[in-house]
A and B are shown apart, each in its own frame.
Chain A
């Protein structure tokens, strides 16, 4: 293939060896420490204030570092972690149902379709129990049993009940816990908070990340902020599809700018399509709304057995319904992992058995659960989700089954990091959804919150200290030539976007890019489709730089300008995603290639050829360089995933 070249493999991930359950402890002991008196002389930049960034900034400040925190929202409390509904996994085994750190580790590696690192995942499972303790101590109001102890529920891809939750607003409550810890540090003067600021460039000096260029979105002022290390916690890139469950502002710019400055981008094609979202209603659609996976605990997914059956759902008798997840996957039933549930929904819709006005929908039916448990119990568990559904669709899900369809939700890919969460640019650390590290090719439900907080509260604060202690650095200021050059790049780019003054809006380009990606790099990919997509993306990108119209100027609040910069970066990322998807000639997790499936339509991995992380290097010439990091499995042996 002519779309990329292959470079040296990645030899060292800094993962310790020895028994997997001792690695993190031993590594922590071996790492260097920064003495408390020296911490206050060190400045750390943290970009993003979600679960990962908020918890990291608060923790680093508690430890005594000088922290500068940035977010594009008007308040750190609004980062998109706030929208996570269902819950957070932890291997507490409070249910005595056979859970353990090893089982969470095992489920996560298997759920990720054997495309993640064992060392990282085991650490995640170990730390999960500390997260719950930490959040309870902060006053996070988790759901509780009558005896006053914490309640848990089950989630997709697991046969134990290890998911802690706060009604349907777990992300909100966890984020507010981290936000409040962060605000405490802001109040104490340990964190300098910069809301409504957007990172537009990374500053690399002598091969190390030493700062960022930011734009104050209110005044338009561009400034260069220097530090001893930079932490990106800027989230995922699902909005490359235009329609996704991400917030409208979520973007790849911070990650992409770092990628262009030398940070490898790993597994960009691994995107998670969430099976339970409210279907698209029309061309005006600006985003998609998730209905929590927890609904699959009690809701049953079905479509009519017959094609084109246009009777109302309540008029279709029981024996003419196909509860296809229960039929195909009897042991996990409606709780199969997300990638499997999404593809199954696509398959039945492709067969012409989809429901609703567009035919792109399946039923999620609570009638049995309401009969069994009573309406009140269902209200207590899911009341807010049912209300949200009714507000958006105008239909009452207590009476009529919900209609759902898959939508882009999460990106497992992200900037490549080693075991220390450090990217290929020394001093640039990447945490939370922005990195690629723990979920392999598919993330299990309720594991994003776990990973974000594990990285921010527990992992990064240790590994960052090791970096700072091992690499004493001279101070550099914003007048350094590299810093000046980065700033000039930012200014030039803004000037260029404003000068085009064409005849199409930013959103119209973004929407069209999203359609290309959904069509060819969505739930199912193929060689021909991906090649077509790459050609279309290139053509559209060229049009963008000739025809986009960005009104106003760079001097003050200009939401069109913000969007234009982000969409420009999405164009470049989109191409890399397609190249990655094209080169991975296998199906795994969220990456399903039509050519590689088992006779019964399940994902067909090719461990001999593809048991590696694909880390892409930006070269500037358009042809990325592939670096492979081989994955070895000592504890969880790769097998064909079966949820039957």
Chain B
């Protein structure tokens, strides 16, 4: 196939950035999307141009590094698929493809298609854990967990932290990411002691990092490569409401 790419080029945070057009001939349908970019980059280097910077690592859809807006869709047209797992058989000869970075206030562009997603780590640091210092754990079978709860917790825990939800959201909200972790831990008995401080801490960190508010549009969940459901946000809201109405400093309230 012969394709035309229009790629966002931006030399650094201060640069305004622009779309640049590159023809890419002889693309095999068995190539992954990133392999197609590799081919372009090889050519750019030999032509004396700077290759296009983009984040990627595992290339098997699990590390969450890749982060491309493809034709205006986070990770491109295939549902439940990260950009690295997207294959060129999803496109047709003669297509023009726009490739841009995630665009959100909380994810500033570093260079070309690479953005800074450090804000996600800050949300986790603000409560996305169970306090269980190494060595302090009881025997694993001392607390049975109903299978349905464990499975539901897993479904939320499957989040790869790529940020597609933020990129897809018209408000630039990181609520699906935040809710996925809140939901995982609030479904498990191990997560109960910190359940309400966790949700407050994480939502505060989310807001401080410059993410927008959630208005239940649902773009996030349809862009999510791991299919994190929208009702996790409902669960977060429920916990958040409960947490804010609990009387501060009153155990058991």
- A residues sitting closer than 8 Å to B (CB atoms) are 55, 58-59, 62, 73-78, 80, 82-83, 92, 94, 130, 132-134, 136-139, 141-150, 166-167, 169, 172-173, 176, 179-181, 183-184, 186-187, 193, 195, 218, 245, 247-249, 281-282, 284-287, 289-290, 387-388, 391-392, 394, 457-458, 461, 503, 505, 507-508, 549, 551-552, 556-557, 559-560
- A393 CB to closest chain B CB (Å) equals 8
| CA of A321 to CA of B49, assembled, Å | 53
B-chain residues with CB within 8 Å of residue A176 when the two chains form the complex? 157
- B residues sitting closer than 8 Å to A (CB atoms) are 12, 28, 30-32, 34-36, 38-39, 42, 45-46, 48-51, 53, 55-65, 78, 80-81, 85-87, 89, 110-111, 114, 116-118, 120-121, 124-126, 128-141, 143-147, 150-151, 153-154, 157-158, 160-161, 184-185, 188, 190-191
| Given A195-B118, A556-B111: A130 and B158 interface contact (C-beta under 8 Å) | no
Tell me which of B49, B56, B65, B121 contacts A76 (CB under 8 A).
B121
The answer on a CB contact under 8 Å between A133 and B110 is no
Between-chain CB contacts (< 8 Å), 20 pairs: A55-B134, A73-B65, A75-B117, A82-B63, A83-B58, A130-B137, A134-B134, A142-B150, A146-B147, A148-B145, A167-B154, A173-B157, A181-B134, A183-B121, A394-B30, A457-B135, A556-B12, A557-B53, A559-B51, A560-B45
Tell me which of A92, A133, A285, A461 contacts B35 (CB under 8 A).
A285
The answer on a CB contact under 8 Å between A73 and B63 is yes
A-chain residues with CB within 8 Å of residue B50 when the two chains form the complex? 551-552
The answer on a CB contact under 8 Å between A94 and B130 is no
B-chain residues with CB within 8 Å of residue A195 when the two chains form the complex? 118, 121
Tell me which of B81, B134, B151, B160 contacts A62 (CB under 8 A).
B134
The answer on a CB contact under 8 Å between A92 and B57 is no
A-chain residues with CB within 8 Å of residue B45 when the two chains form the complex? 505, 549, 551, 560
The answer on a CB contact under 8 Å between B117 and A133 is no
Which residue on chain A has the smallest CB distance to residue B38? A286
Tell me which of A137, A145, A167, A186 contacts B121 (CB under 8 A).
A186
The answer on a CB contact under 8 Å between B144 and A149 is yes
The answer on a CB contact under 8 Å between A187 and B55 is no
The answer on a CB contact under 8 Å between A74 and B53 is no
| CA of A186 to CA of B161, assembled, Å | 18
Given contacts A77-B121, A137-B132, A144-B145, list 5 more A-B pairs with CB under 8 A: A77-B64, A137-B137, A141-B150, A169-B158, A173-B154
| CA of A50 to CA of B143, assembled, Å | 27
Interface of B is mostly: loop
A-chain residues with CB within 8 Å of residue B118 when the two chains form the complex? 74-75, 195
B-chain residues with CB within 8 Å of residue A287 when the two chains form the complex? 59-60
B-chain residues with CB within 8 Å of residue A285 when the two chains form the complex? 35
The answer on a CB contact under 8 Å between A59 and B140 is no
| CA of A58 to CA of B124, assembled, Å | 14
Q: Which of B32, B49, B111 has the most CB of A within 10 A?
A: B32
Which residue on chain A has the smallest CB distance to residue B80? A387
Tell me which of A74, A94, A167 contacts B117 (CB under 8 A).
A74
A-chain residues with CB within 8 Å of residue B78 when the two chains form the complex? 391
| Given A148-B146, A286-B38, A560-B51: A503 and B59 interface contact (C-beta under 8 Å) | no
B-chain residues with CB within 8 Å of residue A149 when the two chains form the complex? 141, 144
| CA of A550 to CA of B213, assembled, Å | 43
| CA of A92 to CA of B140, assembled, Å | 10
B-chain residues with CB within 8 Å of residue A77 when the two chains form the complex? 64, 121, 124, 161
The answer on a CB contact under 8 Å between B138 and A133 is yes
| Given A284-B35, A392-B87, A556-B111: A183 and B65 interface contact (C-beta under 8 Å) | no
| Given A59-B134, A62-B133, A141-B150: A388 and B60 interface contact (C-beta under 8 Å) | yes
Tell me which of A143, A249, A290, A503 contacts B150 (CB under 8 A).
A143
Which residue on chain A has the smallest CB distance to residue B78? A391
Which residue on chain B has the smallest CB distance to residue A77? B161
- A234 CB to closest chain B CB (Å) equals 14
B-chain residues with CB within 8 Å of residue A150 when the two chains form the complex? 140-141
| CA of A290 to CA of B50, assembled, Å | 32
The answer on a CB contact under 8 Å between B110 and A144 is no
| CA of A556 to CA of B12, assembled, Å | 8
The answer on a CB contact under 8 Å between A179 and B124 is yes
